[in-house]
Amino acid sequence: MFTATPLTLKNERSEKAARLVFLSMTLLMVIPLLLIILHLVAKAWPILSLDFLIKNPSHGMRAGGVFAPLLGTIYLVLFSLLIATPLGVMTAVYLNEYARDNALTRIIHLAVVNLAGVPSIVYALFGLGAFVLAAGIGRSVLAASLTLAIMTLPVIITSTKEALSSVPFAFREACWNVGATRWQTIRHVVLPNSINGILTGIILQVSRAAGETAPVMFTGAVFYKAIREGDFFAYGLLDQCMALSMHLFTISTQVPDVPDALPYGTAVVLLGTVLLVNAFAIILRVRLRSRKKW
Amino acid sequence: MKGRTRFESIKEWLIERIIWICGVSSILFVFAIFFFVFREGSAFLFRGFKPVEFFTSIEWYPTSQSHVRYGALALILGTFSVTTLAMLIAIPFGLGAAIYISEFCSARVRETVKIIIELLAAIPSVVWGFIGLTIMNSLIIRLFHAPIGLTMLNGGIILALMSVPIVVSIGEDALKAVPDSYREAAIAMGCTRWQLVYRVLLPAARNGLLAAVLLGIGRGIGETMAVLMATGHSIRIPTSLLDPVRTLTATIAAELGEAAVHSDHYQVLFIIGILLFMITFIINLTADLIVKGIRKQ
């Protein structure tokens, strides 16, 4: 029979210690997240109501709600989505279905990686230089959405590509063997079979675009713009708009004497939107994994 | 076999062209970003811009009436110090968490932790900035009896929390890429789990972990809103953790709105943008080459 030698005892101790150290390192990152969210919600609690969502900011942004910024963010997200989705999905289709293993493909990969790594403030400079000034669109919903679209493109490309490559190659071969062209195969077999993965990417794009501040600050979002409360078509494509993220920045740093609950409320609305959207993506992915037929 | 109609083959050809154009558009965008940022700053870059002053002077007086000076040394050191501090926190914790979820925990715990880390990554930077401005600010004032909590320490911690998810996820990928036969061999030799991690996995996953660290650094250098709100925004070379600092990114965000379009000040901000673009480009390129190198093995 085995008896514990000093060596195995020492090993067991070091094993336990290592486990404890790594566990506490993990917990030290997870617990602050929960505490922060609880703190934000607690501070914002008195102001959170439906009224907060459907009222405009008023009294020099020291009272009222977040209707105009919230609507602005929805506009920016929707338009950037409309631009980035087809472009991103098509890029992923090219990379996964058409591209050969050559220099061009490697350069495209590199470009996508770099697009994901460019700092958000550089996108702001780019949007200002390219869309607002060179293209002459001016500071507007359109210019800001274009900037956001290019910024979030890598999110859609990466997740779509992953979804496409998880469709077994045999599906394509079967399709080609009955005489379908490449595009017919993609259109009727590959894309429908990867739709959940693509949706996950689109949802992540929404969450990313909704939270960005710097890129919209100089391309289309303004400190304050009055719109009619309850009017969901208040912004035109070439109008400037408010944005939730920039509104939070403004009332927490630029405007003096804002009552405490107001920025907390705005932060919770922004954080809540982004986390809900992300949770939706996670649920979709978990369901997709359990449902997979192949 | 029935041949395809002429219309169908033209349609097919057209669609394939469109897909190809979309495919190469990413390359175009990278060039466009560089081109337009460069274009806005180029006139001043070749005319009045003094590189020596820019890189060695701490005198940043872009709106001075008598003597305008664009010395960015304090800003560069600001970015460098906040990022370094953030990495000193984020790298050990991020890699520790990556090791924990890849080697020490059950599948169920792993999924839960990964979801929480994903949510951590989703928090917008302006919300992080707000957290720095409120929660962290009062915490630092209370703990260190500092006059103000908007300091390098504040920005560093916030930035660390923001960079951790990327270090964890790439680090975990790197550990997962180590073949199981390595683990089996080590365990067969009587290794404890800690010895396995320390002697086998860390050396084997060295490159992937390095890529994780690089991408974390890239994230830190480029972060704007959080450091703008949390670091106190004063131009000086930091000498202690409780000094306020200002970064390159925060300077652009704070001053671009006030600089007149095409003025020298405005163009210098674009030159800072070019600098940031090139730094992150090199970091991403290196990380990508390292990751590619692993896949080849």
Q: How far apart are CA A102 and CA B5, in angstroms?
A: 32
Indicate yes or no: CB of A40 within 8 angstroms of CB of B131: yes
- Is B22's Cβ below 8 Å from some Cβ in A? yes
Chains A, B: CB pairs < 8 Å: 257
Indicate yes or no: CB of B26 within 8 angstroms of CB of A249: no
CATH number (domain holding residue B172)? 1.10.3720.10
Backbone torsions φ then ψ of B158, nearest 5 degrees: -60, -45
Predicted confidence at residue B297, as pLDDT, reads 60
Average pLDDT, chain A: 89
Q: Does B1 have pLDDT greater than 50? A: no
Q: Any idea what the Cα angle at residue A186 is, between residues A290 and A88, rounded to 5°? A: 80
Sort out which chain A residues have CB atoms less than 8 A from B290's CB and list them.
Answer: none
Are B287 and B219 within 8 A, CB to CB?
no
Indicate yes or no: CB of A111 within 8 angstroms of CB of B29: yes
Rg of chain B on CA atoms, in Å: 24
pLDDT in tens, B211-240: 999 999 999 999 999 999 999 888 888 888
* Region at B83 (left for phi over 0; alpha for psi -120 to 50; beta for the rest): alpha
Q: Count Cβ atoms within 10 A of the Cβ of residue A6 and give its class: 0-12 exposed, 13-18 middle, 19 or more buried.
A: exposed
B167: closest CA of chain A, how far (Å): 12
Q: Does A261 have pLDDT greater than 70? A: yes
Could you tell me if residue B56 is inside a domain?
no
Could you tell me if residue B63 is inside a domain?
no
Sort out which chain B residues have CB atoms less than 8 A from A125's CB and list them.
Answer: 36-37, 40, 252, 256, 269-270, 273
Band the pLDDT of A146: cuts 50, 70, 90: very high
Sort out which chain B residues have CB atoms less than 8 A from A146's CB and list them.
Answer: none
**Which residue matches tokens 């939730």?**
A244
Predicted confidence at residue B240, as pLDDT, reads 85
Give the domain extent around B239: 69-296
CA A188 to chain centre: 28
Q: Which CATH architecture has domain A68-291?
A: Orthogonal Bundle (1.10)
Residue ranges of B 124-143 with Cβ closer than 8 A to chain A: 124-127, 129-131, 133-135
Could you tell me if residue B23 is inside a domain?
no
Are B137 and B149 within 8 A, CB to CB?
yes
Band the pLDDT of A294: cuts 50, 70, 90: low
Q: Does A71 have pLDDT greater than 80? A: yes
Which residues on adjacent β-strands are paired with residue B60?
A: B70
Indicate yes or no: CB of A39 within 8 angstroms of CB of B135: yes
Predicted confidence at residue B2, as pLDDT, reads 52
CB-facing half-sphere around the CA of A183: CA atoms within 13 A: 14
- Is B116's Cβ below 8 Å from some Cβ in A? yes
Which residues on adjacent β-strands are paired with residue B61?
A: B69
Band the pLDDT of B296: cuts 50, 70, 90: low
A104: closest CA of chain B, how far (Å): 8
B205: closest CA of chain A, how far (Å): 17
Could you tell me if residue B60 is inside a domain?
no
Could you tell me if residue B272 is inside a domain?
yes
Which residues on adjacent β-strands are paired with residue A64?
A: A57
Sort out which chain B residues have CB atoms less than 8 A from A270's CB and list them.
Answer: 124, 126-127
**Which residue matches tokens 């001016």?**
A138
Indicate yes or no: CB of B277 within 8 angstroms of CB of A119: yes
Band the pLDDT of B116: cuts 50, 70, 90: confident
Which residues on adjacent β-strands are paired with residue A241?
A: A221
A158: closest CA of chain B, how far (Å): 12
Sort out which chain A residues have CB atoms less than 8 A from B36's CB and list them.
Answer: 125-126, 129-130, 134
Band the pLDDT of A54: cuts 50, 70, 90: confident
Indicate yes or no: CB of B37 within 8 angstroms of CB of A126: yes
Indicate yes or no: CB of A26 within 8 angstroms of CB of B101: yes
Q: What is the percent of chain B with per-residue pLDDT over 90, rounded to a whole number?
A: 58
Indicate yes or no: CB of B36 within 8 angstroms of CB of A130: yes
For residue A59, count other CB atoms closer than 10 A to its CB.
9
Indicate yes or no: CB of B113 within 8 angstroms of CB of A153: no
Q: How far apart are CA B118 and CA B123, in angstroms?
A: 9
Indicate yes or no: CB of A118 within 8 angstroms of CB of B33: yes
**Which residue matches tokens 């359109």?**
A142
Strand, helix or coil at B69?
Answer: strand
The residue in chain B having the minimum alpha-carbon distance to the alpha carbon of residue A122 is B273
Q: Out of A199-208, B77-86, B268-277, which region has the weakest mean confidence (pLDDT)?
A: A199-208
The residue in chain B having the minimum alpha-carbon distance to the alpha carbon of residue A286 is B111
- Is B153's Cβ below 8 Å from some Cβ in A? no
Q: How far apart are CA A150 and CA B190, in angstroms?
A: 52
Could you tell me if residue B128 is inside a domain?
yes
Question: Which amino acid type is present at position A232?
Answer: F
Indicate yes or no: CB of A211 within 8 angstroms of CB of B252: no
Strand, helix or coil at B61?
Answer: strand
- Is B77's Cβ below 8 Å from some Cβ in A? no
Residue ranges of B 47-66 with Cβ closer than 8 A to chain A: none
B248: closest CA of chain A, how far (Å): 10
Selected for mutation to probe chain B from A104, A114, A162 (highest B CB count within 10 Å) is: A114
Predicted confidence at residue A14, as pLDDT, reads 81
Indicate yes or no: CB of B124 within 8 angstroms of CB of A211: yes
Sort out which chain A residues have CB atoms less than 8 A from B20's CB and list them.
Answer: 94, 98
Q: Does B143 have pLDDT greater than 50? A: yes
Indicate yes or no: CB of B26 within 8 angstroms of CB of A157: yes
Q: How many structural domains is chain B composed of?
A: 1
Predicted confidence at residue B168, as pLDDT, reads 92
Of A206, A56, A70, A267, give the one whose Cα is nearest residue B229: A267
In the predicted model, what is the mean pLDDT of residues A41-58? 89
